[in-house]
Protein backbone atom coordinates (compact mmCIF):
# COMPACT_ATOMS: atom_id res chain seq x y z
CA UNK A 1 0.00 0.00 0.00
CA UNK A 2 1.23 3.48 -0.87
CA UNK A 3 -0.10 6.97 -0.35
CA UNK A 4 -0.44 8.98 -3.55
CA UNK A 5 -1.05 12.69 -3.57
CA UNK A 6 -3.23 14.72 -5.93
CA UNK A 7 -2.29 18.36 -6.37
CA UNK A 8 -4.34 21.36 -7.39
CA UNK A 9 -3.91 21.22 -11.16
CA UNK A 10 -3.06 23.93 -13.64
CA UNK A 11 -6.17 24.29 -15.80
CA UNK A 12 -4.27 25.97 -18.60
CA UNK A 13 -5.52 29.54 -18.05
CA UNK A 14 -2.33 30.94 -16.54
CA UNK A 15 -3.98 30.91 -13.11
CA UNK A 16 -2.15 30.35 -9.84
CA UNK A 17 -4.91 29.44 -7.41
CA UNK A 18 -8.44 28.12 -7.06
CA UNK A 19 -11.05 27.91 -4.31
CA UNK A 20 -12.39 24.52 -3.26
CA UNK A 21 -16.17 24.85 -3.52
CA UNK A 22 -17.26 21.32 -2.67
CA UNK A 23 -15.84 17.91 -1.86
CA UNK A 24 -17.66 14.93 -3.39
CA UNK A 25 -15.69 12.35 -1.38
CA UNK A 26 -14.67 11.84 2.24
CA UNK A 27 -11.84 9.88 3.92
CA UNK A 28 -12.50 6.16 3.54
CA UNK A 29 -14.38 6.48 0.24
CA UNK A 30 -13.21 4.41 -2.72
CA UNK A 31 -12.30 6.38 -5.85
CA UNK A 32 -11.53 5.29 -9.41
CA UNK A 33 -9.49 6.79 -12.22
CA UNK A 34 -11.44 9.68 -13.74
CA UNK A 35 -13.89 10.06 -10.85
CA UNK A 36 -14.72 13.66 -9.93
CA UNK A 37 -13.60 14.28 -6.34
CA UNK A 38 -14.22 18.00 -5.94
CA UNK A 39 -15.41 21.20 -7.56
CA UNK A 40 -13.16 24.25 -7.56
CA UNK A 41 -13.67 27.82 -8.67
CA UNK A 42 -10.92 29.30 -10.79
CA UNK A 43 -10.80 32.93 -11.78
CA UNK A 44 -12.98 32.08 -14.77
CA UNK A 45 -15.43 29.32 -13.92
CA UNK A 46 -16.29 26.40 -11.68
CA UNK A 47 -14.38 23.25 -12.68
CA UNK A 48 -14.83 19.66 -11.55
CA UNK A 49 -11.56 17.84 -10.84
CA UNK A 50 -11.24 14.13 -11.67
CA UNK A 51 -8.60 12.07 -9.86
CA UNK A 52 -6.18 10.16 -12.15
CA UNK A 53 -5.82 6.91 -10.16
CA UNK A 54 -7.73 4.30 -8.14
CA UNK A 55 -7.66 3.88 -4.37
CA UNK A 56 -9.22 4.81 -1.03
CA UNK A 57 -9.31 8.43 0.16
CA UNK A 58 -6.76 8.83 2.94
CA UNK A 59 -7.17 12.55 3.77
CA UNK A 60 -8.66 15.80 2.50
CA UNK A 61 -6.02 18.44 3.15
CA UNK A 62 -8.18 21.54 2.73
CA UNK A 63 -11.70 22.40 3.75
CA UNK A 64 -14.41 23.71 1.46
CA UNK A 65 -14.08 27.45 0.92
CA UNK A 66 -10.28 27.36 1.09
CA UNK A 67 -8.20 29.05 -1.63
CA UNK A 68 -5.38 26.74 -2.68
CA UNK A 69 -2.34 27.48 -4.84
CA UNK A 70 -1.73 25.50 -8.00
CA UNK A 71 0.66 22.66 -7.16
CA UNK A 72 -0.51 22.26 -3.55
CA UNK A 73 -1.59 18.76 -2.50
CA UNK A 74 -5.33 18.77 -1.85
CA UNK A 75 -6.11 15.08 -1.33
CA UNK A 76 -4.15 11.91 -0.56
CA UNK A 77 -5.28 8.45 -1.66
CA UNK A 78 -4.17 5.03 -0.44
CA UNK A 79 -3.53 2.80 -3.43
CA UNK A 80 -2.86 -0.92 -3.73
CA UNK A 81 -0.05 -0.49 -6.26
CA UNK A 82 2.97 -1.83 -4.35
CA UNK A 83 5.31 -1.09 -7.25
CA UNK A 84 4.48 2.60 -7.45
CA UNK A 85 6.40 5.14 -5.46
CA UNK A 86 4.69 8.10 -3.88
CA UNK A 87 5.21 11.34 -5.87
CA UNK A 88 7.20 12.92 -3.03
CA UNK A 89 9.67 10.03 -3.10
CA UNK A 90 10.13 10.06 -6.84
CA UNK A 91 10.35 13.80 -7.30
CA UNK A 92 12.13 15.01 -4.19
CA UNK A 93 15.29 12.91 -4.12
CA UNK A 94 16.60 12.26 -7.64
CA UNK A 95 20.17 12.04 -6.36
CA UNK A 96 19.29 9.24 -3.95
CA UNK A 97 17.43 7.39 -6.67
CA UNK A 98 20.43 7.68 -8.98
CA UNK A 99 22.79 6.34 -6.32
CA UNK A 100 20.56 3.37 -5.64
CA UNK A 101 20.06 2.57 -9.33
CA UNK A 102 22.80 -0.14 -9.59
CA UNK A 103 21.11 -2.17 -6.84
CA UNK A 104 17.76 -2.17 -8.63
CA UNK A 105 16.69 -3.99 -11.76
CA UNK A 106 15.23 -0.77 -13.17
CA UNK A 107 14.34 2.66 -11.73
CA UNK A 108 10.80 3.34 -10.55
CA UNK A 109 8.75 5.08 -13.22
CA UNK A 110 8.32 8.80 -12.79
CA UNK A 111 4.81 9.68 -11.74
CA UNK A 112 3.26 12.45 -13.77
CA UNK A 113 1.82 15.27 -11.77
CA UNK A 114 -1.90 15.30 -12.63
CA UNK A 115 -3.12 18.45 -14.36
CA UNK A 116 -6.15 19.31 -16.41
CA UNK A 117 -4.07 20.77 -19.22
CA UNK A 118 -0.38 20.13 -19.83
CA UNK A 119 2.15 17.94 -18.01
CA UNK A 120 2.76 19.74 -14.78
CA UNK A 121 3.19 22.98 -12.97
CA UNK A 122 6.42 24.83 -13.61
CA UNK A 123 8.62 25.56 -10.62
CA UNK A 124 8.11 29.12 -9.47
CA UNK A 125 11.11 31.37 -9.91
CA UNK A 126 9.92 33.61 -7.10
CA UNK A 127 8.30 32.90 -3.77
CA UNK A 128 5.28 34.51 -2.27
CA UNK A 129 5.06 35.31 1.43
CA UNK A 130 3.35 32.41 3.29
CA UNK A 131 -0.26 33.10 3.97
CA UNK A 132 -1.47 33.57 7.51
CA UNK A 133 -2.86 30.55 9.35
CA UNK A 134 -1.75 28.16 6.58
CA UNK A 135 -0.28 25.69 9.06
CA UNK A 136 -3.45 25.78 11.13
CA UNK A 137 -5.52 24.88 8.09
CA UNK A 138 -3.47 21.79 7.35
CA UNK A 139 -3.44 20.74 11.00
CA UNK A 140 -7.21 20.90 11.18
CA UNK A 141 -7.39 18.51 8.24
CA UNK A 142 -5.21 15.90 9.91
CA UNK A 143 -2.00 16.49 7.96
CA UNK A 144 1.01 18.71 8.00
CA UNK A 145 1.05 21.54 5.46
CA UNK A 146 2.54 20.35 2.16
CA UNK A 147 4.99 23.23 2.12
CA UNK A 148 6.45 22.04 5.43
CA UNK A 149 7.28 18.58 4.16
CA UNK A 150 11.02 17.93 4.26
CA UNK A 151 11.04 16.62 0.73
CA UNK A 152 8.80 18.92 -1.31
CA UNK A 153 8.22 17.51 -4.77
CA UNK A 154 9.64 19.34 -7.73
CA UNK A 155 7.58 19.59 -10.90
CA UNK A 156 8.40 16.76 -13.30
CA UNK A 157 9.76 17.61 -16.69
CA UNK A 158 7.41 17.14 -19.63
CA UNK A 159 8.03 13.70 -21.11
CA UNK A 160 9.28 13.49 -24.67
CA UNK A 161 6.69 11.78 -26.82
CA UNK A 162 7.96 9.18 -29.27
CA UNK A 163 7.64 9.85 -32.95
CA UNK A 164 4.37 8.15 -33.78
CA UNK A 165 2.48 8.85 -36.99
CA UNK A 166 -0.75 10.82 -36.64
CA UNK A 167 -4.13 9.23 -37.18
CA UNK A 168 -4.62 8.03 -40.77
CA UNK A 169 -6.94 10.28 -42.76
CA UNK A 170 -10.56 9.17 -42.73
CA UNK A 171 -10.20 6.73 -39.85
CA UNK A 172 -11.90 7.24 -36.48
CA UNK A 173 -9.27 7.69 -33.76
CA UNK A 174 -9.06 4.89 -31.20
CA UNK A 175 -9.76 6.12 -27.66
CA UNK A 176 -11.73 5.10 -24.58
CA UNK A 177 -14.92 7.03 -23.75
CA UNK A 178 -13.36 8.94 -20.80
CA UNK A 179 -10.54 10.06 -23.08
CA UNK A 180 -13.00 11.19 -25.73
CA UNK A 181 -14.90 13.20 -23.12
CA UNK A 182 -11.65 14.77 -21.89
CA UNK A 183 -10.75 15.78 -25.45
CA UNK A 184 -14.20 17.28 -25.97
CA UNK A 185 -14.02 19.24 -22.72
CA UNK A 186 -10.60 20.65 -23.66
CA UNK A 187 -11.63 21.43 -27.23
CA UNK A 188 -9.15 18.98 -28.76
CA UNK A 189 -9.81 17.18 -32.06
CA UNK A 190 -8.82 13.54 -31.48
CA UNK A 191 -7.93 13.17 -35.16
CA UNK A 192 -5.08 15.65 -34.63
CA UNK A 193 -3.66 13.88 -31.56
CA UNK A 194 -0.58 11.68 -31.93
CA UNK A 195 -1.38 8.36 -30.18
CA UNK A 196 1.18 6.66 -27.93
CA UNK A 197 -0.94 3.82 -26.56
CA UNK A 198 -0.72 0.19 -27.66
CA UNK A 199 -2.26 -0.37 -31.07
CA UNK A 200 -2.47 3.35 -31.82
CA UNK A 201 -4.87 4.14 -28.96
CA UNK A 202 -5.06 7.79 -27.85
CA UNK A 203 -4.40 8.03 -24.10
CA UNK A 204 -5.27 10.65 -21.51
CA UNK A 205 -1.66 11.84 -21.57
CA UNK A 206 -1.81 12.28 -25.36
CA UNK A 207 -4.82 14.59 -25.03
CA UNK A 208 -3.11 16.61 -22.28
CA UNK A 209 -0.01 16.95 -24.46
CA UNK A 210 -2.09 18.15 -27.43
CA UNK A 211 -3.88 20.68 -25.23
CA UNK A 212 -0.57 21.95 -23.85
CA UNK A 213 0.85 22.28 -27.37
CA UNK A 214 -2.23 24.26 -28.43
CA UNK A 215 -1.95 26.67 -25.50
CA UNK A 216 1.84 27.14 -25.30
CA UNK A 217 2.27 29.19 -28.52
CA UNK A 218 -0.11 31.81 -27.15
CA UNK A 219 2.10 32.57 -24.20
CA UNK A 220 4.15 35.23 -25.98
CA UNK A 221 1.42 37.49 -27.35
CA UNK A 222 -0.91 36.94 -24.41
CA UNK A 223 1.74 38.05 -21.97
CA UNK A 224 1.70 41.49 -23.59
CA UNK A 225 -2.06 41.88 -23.43
CA UNK A 226 -2.55 40.69 -19.86
CA UNK A 227 -0.60 41.38 -16.68
CA UNK A 228 1.94 38.86 -15.52
CA UNK A 229 0.58 35.94 -13.58
CA UNK A 230 1.22 35.80 -9.86
CA UNK A 231 4.02 33.32 -9.04
CA UNK A 232 3.05 29.98 -7.58
CA UNK A 233 3.44 30.07 -3.83
CA UNK A 234 5.43 27.50 -1.91
CA UNK A 235 3.34 27.89 1.22
CA UNK A 236 -0.01 26.34 2.07
CA UNK A 237 -3.22 28.14 1.15
CA UNK A 238 -5.23 30.37 3.44
CA UNK A 239 -8.73 29.47 4.58
CA UNK A 240 -11.64 31.20 2.86
CA UNK A 241 -11.60 34.92 3.56
CA UNK A 242 -14.65 36.34 5.28
CA UNK A 243 -16.29 39.60 4.30
CA UNK A 244 -15.38 42.23 6.89
CA UNK A 245 -18.29 44.50 7.80
CA UNK A 246 -18.34 47.54 10.04
CA UNK A 247 -20.94 50.21 10.70
CA UNK A 248 -19.69 52.39 7.83
CA UNK A 249 -17.75 50.14 5.43
CA UNK A 250 -17.78 46.63 4.02
CA UNK A 251 -14.57 45.05 2.74
CA UNK A 252 -14.87 42.18 0.25
CA UNK A 253 -11.78 40.16 -0.71
CA UNK A 254 -10.88 40.53 -4.39
CA UNK A 255 -10.53 37.03 -5.84
CA UNK A 256 -11.82 34.69 -8.48
CA UNK A 257 -13.41 36.17 -11.59
CA UNK A 258 -13.40 39.68 -10.16
CA UNK A 259 -9.65 39.60 -9.54
CA UNK A 260 -8.68 38.34 -12.98
CA UNK A 261 -11.17 40.65 -14.71
CA UNK A 262 -9.62 43.62 -12.94
CA UNK A 263 -6.10 42.56 -13.92
CA UNK A 264 -7.11 41.95 -17.54
CA UNK A 265 -8.91 45.29 -17.87
CA UNK A 266 -6.00 47.25 -16.41
CA UNK A 267 -3.58 45.38 -18.67
CA UNK A 268 -5.74 46.02 -21.73
CA UNK A 269 -6.41 49.69 -20.97
CA UNK A 270 -2.72 50.48 -20.53
CA UNK A 271 -1.42 48.28 -23.36
CA UNK A 272 -3.77 48.77 -26.31
CA UNK A 273 -4.50 52.38 -27.34
CA UNK A 274 -8.30 52.48 -27.24
CA UNK A 275 -10.50 54.52 -29.56
CA UNK A 276 -14.29 54.51 -29.14
CA UNK A 277 -16.77 55.65 -31.79
CA UNK A 278 -20.56 55.90 -31.54
CA UNK A 279 -23.48 55.72 -33.94
CA UNK A 280 -27.19 56.23 -33.29
CA UNK A 281 -29.68 54.93 -35.85
CA UNK A 282 -33.14 53.54 -36.58
CA UNK A 283 -33.59 49.78 -36.01
CA UNK A 284 -37.37 49.64 -36.52
CA UNK A 285 -37.03 47.30 -39.51
CA UNK A 286 -34.75 44.95 -37.56
CA UNK A 287 -37.24 44.79 -34.70
CA UNK A 288 -40.01 43.91 -37.17
CA UNK A 289 -37.79 41.19 -38.65
CA UNK A 290 -37.22 39.75 -35.16
CA UNK A 291 -40.98 39.34 -34.74
CA UNK A 292 -41.32 37.73 -38.18
CA UNK A 293 -38.51 35.27 -37.47
CA UNK A 294 -40.09 34.30 -34.16
CA UNK A 295 -43.19 33.24 -36.10
CA UNK A 296 -41.19 31.29 -38.71
CA UNK A 297 -41.83 27.53 -38.33
CA UNK A 298 -38.30 26.77 -39.55
CA UNK A 299 -36.91 28.56 -36.49
CA UNK A 300 -39.35 27.13 -33.99
CA UNK A 301 -37.75 26.39 -30.63
CA UNK A 302 -34.84 28.78 -31.22
CA UNK A 303 -34.26 31.96 -29.24
CA UNK A 304 -34.67 34.88 -31.65
CA UNK A 305 -33.82 38.31 -30.28
CA UNK A 306 -32.18 41.58 -31.42
CA UNK A 307 -28.76 40.45 -30.15
CA UNK A 308 -28.84 37.52 -32.58
CA UNK A 309 -29.33 39.84 -35.58
CA UNK A 310 -26.74 42.26 -34.23
CA UNK A 311 -24.24 39.38 -34.03
CA UNK A 312 -25.10 38.44 -37.61
CA UNK A 313 -24.65 42.07 -38.68
CA UNK A 314 -21.19 42.13 -37.07
CA UNK A 315 -20.19 39.01 -39.02
CA UNK A 316 -21.38 40.58 -42.28
CA UNK A 317 -19.41 43.75 -41.49
CA UNK A 318 -16.29 41.68 -40.76
CA UNK A 319 -16.66 40.04 -44.15
CA UNK A 320 -16.67 43.50 -45.76
CA UNK A 321 -13.81 44.76 -43.56
CA UNK A 322 -11.58 41.72 -42.91
CA UNK A 323 -8.64 43.75 -41.58
CA UNK A 324 -10.68 44.48 -38.45
CA UNK A 325 -10.39 40.84 -37.42
CA UNK A 326 -6.77 40.80 -36.27
CA UNK A 327 -4.46 40.71 -33.26
CA UNK A 328 -1.18 42.37 -32.31
CA UNK A 329 1.86 40.14 -31.75
CA UNK A 330 4.20 42.29 -29.70
CA UNK A 331 6.98 39.69 -29.49
CA UNK A 332 7.18 39.17 -33.26
CA UNK A 333 6.15 42.75 -34.12
CA UNK A 334 3.49 41.43 -36.47
CA UNK A 335 -0.20 41.95 -37.12
CA UNK A 336 -1.96 38.59 -37.25
CA UNK A 337 -4.99 38.59 -39.58
CA UNK A 338 -7.62 36.03 -38.56
CA UNK A 339 -9.51 34.21 -41.30
CA UNK A 340 -12.09 33.03 -38.80
CA UNK A 341 -14.32 34.81 -36.28
CA UNK A 342 -14.57 33.53 -32.72
CA UNK A 343 -17.27 35.91 -31.51
CA UNK A 344 -17.09 36.67 -27.81
CA UNK A 345 -20.25 37.37 -25.81
CA UNK A 346 -19.79 39.17 -22.51
CA UNK A 347 -21.88 37.26 -19.96
CA UNK A 348 -22.75 38.39 -16.44
CA UNK A 349 -22.60 35.44 -14.06
CA UNK A 350 -22.98 35.09 -10.27
CA UNK A 351 -19.17 34.92 -10.11
CA UNK A 352 -18.61 38.00 -12.27
CA UNK A 353 -18.12 38.88 -15.93
CA UNK A 354 -16.68 36.30 -18.33
CA UNK A 355 -16.34 36.32 -22.11
CA UNK A 356 -16.78 32.91 -23.73
CA UNK A 357 -16.80 32.88 -27.51
CA UNK A 358 -18.67 31.16 -30.33
CA UNK A 359 -16.05 29.27 -32.33
CA UNK A 360 -16.15 29.85 -36.12
CA UNK A 361 -19.21 32.06 -35.84
CA UNK A 362 -18.62 33.30 -39.40
CA UNK A 363 -19.49 29.84 -40.79
CA UNK A 364 -22.80 29.41 -38.93
CA UNK A 365 -26.31 29.86 -40.25
CA UNK A 366 -28.76 32.05 -38.35
CA UNK A 367 -30.26 28.98 -36.66
CA UNK A 368 -26.85 27.58 -35.72
CA UNK A 369 -25.77 30.96 -34.39
CA UNK A 370 -28.94 31.12 -32.25
CA UNK A 371 -28.26 27.66 -30.78
CA UNK A 372 -24.62 28.51 -30.05
CA UNK A 373 -25.54 31.83 -28.45
CA UNK A 374 -28.19 30.28 -26.19
CA UNK A 375 -25.93 27.41 -25.15
CA UNK A 376 -22.98 29.71 -24.47
CA UNK A 377 -24.98 32.09 -22.25
CA UNK A 378 -26.70 29.27 -20.33
CA UNK A 379 -23.41 27.48 -19.68
CA UNK A 380 -21.77 30.71 -18.52
CA UNK A 381 -24.54 31.52 -16.06
CA UNK A 382 -24.34 28.01 -14.64
CA UNK A 383 -20.61 28.53 -14.05
CA UNK A 384 -19.72 25.57 -16.28
CA UNK A 385 -17.86 27.38 -19.04
CA UNK A 386 -14.70 25.46 -19.95
CA UNK A 387 -11.30 27.18 -20.40
CA UNK A 388 -11.37 26.23 -24.11
CA UNK A 389 -14.58 28.25 -24.57
CA UNK A 390 -12.83 31.42 -23.38
CA UNK A 391 -9.69 31.16 -25.50
CA UNK A 392 -8.83 32.50 -28.95
CA UNK A 393 -11.59 35.12 -29.16
CA UNK A 394 -11.28 37.67 -31.96
CA UNK A 395 -14.14 40.17 -31.43
CA UNK A 396 -16.61 40.70 -28.58
CA UNK A 397 -20.21 41.87 -28.12
CA UNK A 398 -21.42 43.33 -24.83
CA UNK A 399 -25.12 44.08 -24.42
CA UNK A 400 -25.44 46.91 -21.92
CA UNK A 401 -28.90 47.74 -23.30
CA UNK A 402 -30.51 45.03 -21.17
CA UNK A 403 -29.89 47.33 -18.19
CA UNK A 404 -31.54 50.30 -19.91
CA UNK A 405 -28.18 51.93 -20.64
CA UNK A 406 -27.89 53.93 -23.86
CA UNK A 407 -24.21 53.30 -24.51
CA UNK A 408 -20.75 53.04 -22.97
CA UNK A 409 -17.02 52.96 -23.71
CA UNK A 410 -16.13 49.26 -23.44
CA UNK A 411 -12.58 48.08 -22.77
CA UNK A 412 -11.09 45.50 -25.13
CA UNK A 413 -10.85 41.90 -24.09
CA UNK A 414 -7.06 41.26 -23.98
CA UNK A 415 -5.74 39.92 -27.29
CA UNK A 416 -8.73 41.09 -29.33
CA UNK A 417 -9.02 43.97 -31.79
CA UNK A 418 -12.50 45.35 -31.11
CA UNK A 419 -15.52 45.22 -28.81
CA UNK A 420 -19.04 46.45 -29.64
CA UNK A 421 -21.35 47.73 -26.91
CA UNK A 422 -25.06 47.49 -27.75
CA UNK A 423 -27.27 50.12 -26.13
CA UNK A 424 -30.94 50.01 -25.19
CA UNK A 425 -33.47 50.04 -28.03
CA UNK A 426 -36.02 52.76 -27.28
CA UNK A 427 -39.02 54.32 -28.97
CA UNK A 428 -37.97 57.88 -29.89
CA UNK A 429 -39.07 60.68 -32.22
CA UNK A 430 -37.13 60.23 -35.46
CA UNK A 431 -37.23 61.80 -38.89
CA UNK A 432 -38.48 59.09 -41.26
CA UNK A 433 -39.29 59.86 -44.88
CA UNK A 434 -39.37 63.58 -44.14
CA UNK A 435 -41.68 63.34 -41.14
CA UNK A 436 -41.09 63.03 -37.42
CA UNK A 437 -42.39 59.65 -36.32
CA UNK A 438 -41.93 57.35 -33.34
CA UNK A 439 -39.21 54.85 -34.28
CA UNK A 440 -37.11 52.20 -32.52
CA UNK A 441 -33.65 53.75 -32.03
CA UNK A 442 -30.42 52.49 -30.52
CA UNK A 443 -26.78 53.51 -30.11
CA UNK A 444 -23.75 51.31 -30.75
CA UNK A 445 -20.29 52.03 -29.33
CA UNK A 446 -17.23 50.43 -30.93
CA UNK A 447 -13.91 50.40 -29.07
CA UNK A 448 -10.91 49.22 -31.07
CA UNK A 449 -7.15 48.87 -30.83
CA UNK A 450 -5.70 51.83 -32.72
CA UNK A 451 -2.48 49.89 -33.39
CA UNK A 452 -4.52 47.56 -35.59
CA UNK A 453 -7.46 49.63 -36.74
CA UNK A 454 -7.15 53.22 -37.92
CA UNK A 455 -10.01 55.71 -37.80
CA UNK A 456 -11.17 55.10 -41.36
CA UNK A 457 -11.36 51.31 -41.01
CA UNK A 458 -13.05 51.51 -37.61
CA UNK A 459 -15.59 54.02 -38.91
CA UNK A 460 -16.42 51.94 -41.99
CA UNK A 461 -16.81 48.82 -39.86
CA UNK A 462 -19.19 50.52 -37.41
CA UNK A 463 -21.15 52.19 -40.23
CA UNK A 464 -21.59 48.83 -41.98
CA UNK A 465 -22.99 47.24 -38.82
CA UNK A 466 -25.49 50.09 -38.50
CA UNK A 467 -26.39 49.91 -42.19
CA UNK A 468 -27.23 46.21 -41.93
CA UNK A 469 -29.43 46.76 -38.86
CA UNK A 470 -31.14 49.79 -40.39
CA UNK A 471 -31.94 47.82 -43.55
CA UNK A 472 -31.74 44.11 -42.58
CA UNK A 473 -32.19 42.96 -46.19
CA UNK A 474 -28.45 43.63 -46.40
CA UNK A 475 -27.99 40.48 -44.36
CA UNK A 476 -28.68 38.81 -47.70
CA UNK A 477 -27.37 41.28 -50.27
CA UNK A 478 -24.06 41.90 -48.46
CA UNK A 479 -23.52 38.33 -47.30
Question: Which of these is catalytic: 208, 274, 362, 450?
Answer: 450
Q: Verify whether residue 450 is a known catalytic residue.
A: yes
Give the 3-state DSSP-derived string for the chain, with helices as H, strands as E and coil as C.
CEEEEEECCCCCCCCCEEEEEEECCCCCCEECCCCEEEEEECCCCEEEEECCCCEEEEEECCCCCCEEECCCEEEEEEECCCCCCCHHHHHHCHHHHHHHHHHCCCCCCCCCCCCCCCCCCCCCCCCCCCCCCHHHHHHHCCCCCHHHCCCCCCCCCCCCCCCCCCCCCCCCCEECHHHHHHHHHCCCCHHHCCCCCHHHEECHHHHHHHHHHHHHHHHHHHHHHCCCCCCCCCCCCCCCCCCEECCCCEECCCCHHHHHHHHHHHHHHCCCCEEEEEEEEECHHHHHHHHHHHCCHHHCCCCCCHHHHHHHHHHHHHHHCHHHCEEEECCCCEEEECCCCCEEECEEECCEEECCEECCHHHCCHHHHHHHHHHHHHHHHCCCCCHHHHCCCCEEEEEHHHHCCCCCCCCCCCCCCEEEEECCCEEEEEEECCEEEEEEEEEEEEEEECCCCCHHHHHHHHHHHHHHHHCCCHHHHCC
Residues forming the active site: 450
Amino acid sequence: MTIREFKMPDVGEGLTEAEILKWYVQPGDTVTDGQVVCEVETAKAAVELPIPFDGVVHALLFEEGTTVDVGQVIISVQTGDAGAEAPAVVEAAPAVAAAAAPAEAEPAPEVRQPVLVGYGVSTASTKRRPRKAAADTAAQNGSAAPAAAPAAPAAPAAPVLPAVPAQPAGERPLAKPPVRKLAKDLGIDLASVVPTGDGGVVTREDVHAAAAAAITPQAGPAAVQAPAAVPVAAAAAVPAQVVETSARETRIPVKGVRKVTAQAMVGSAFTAPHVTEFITFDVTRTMKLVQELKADPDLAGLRINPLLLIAKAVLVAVRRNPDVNASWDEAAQEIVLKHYVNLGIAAATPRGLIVPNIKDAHAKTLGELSESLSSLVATARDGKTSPADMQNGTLTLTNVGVFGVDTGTPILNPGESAILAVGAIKLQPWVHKGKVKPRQVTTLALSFDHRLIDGELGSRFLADIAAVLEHPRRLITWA
